[in-house]
Amino acid sequence: MIRGSCLCGAVAIEIAGTPRSLSYCHCSRCRKAEGVFAAVLIGAVDDLRIVRGEDHIRRLEPQEPWTHRRAFCGTCGSALGELYAGATYVVAASLLDDDPGMRPTAHLNVASKPDWYEIADDLKKFEGNYIPA
């Protein structure tokens, strides 16, 4: 079980099973929500459970061409990711209280990274989005 919570503790999650990936997303939405990039944990939506704070979760609907709904804690503003993205969850790794048992494997949306930021590792790079199967 992987546990996570927001900064104020109002929202808490649990993830059962093994996530599919831990990646860095450089899309402009993730940059604005979390910094230069967002570390995101991706897995099967059935493995995600909101333990507490559903009433604190706020969502920002996407504008085209975006498809993911940004979720955040309405009390402290902590980024939660996209908790329910169809058959997958995309959870902001900053939410995690426990070690997910994996390390980042890829950079997503590198075509959107800021010019002033250089990726200095040898992880896989995807120009656009990528949701592992």
The length of the chain in residues reads 133
Q: Which of 92, 79, 1, 3 is nearest to 42 (CA)?
A: 92
pLDDT of res. 20? 93
pLDDT of res. 130? 66
Confidence check: pLDDT of 38 > 80:
yes
* Domains, the chain: 2-125 (2.170.150.70)
Radius of gyration of the chain from its Cα atoms, rounded to whole angstroms: 14
Residue type, 65: P
For the chain, count helices (H), then strands (E): 1, 11
Question: The pTM is what?
Answer: 0.84
Confidence check: pLDDT of 48 > 60:
yes
Residue type, 61: E
Share the mean pLDDT of the chain: 89
Confidence check: pLDDT of 133 > 60:
no
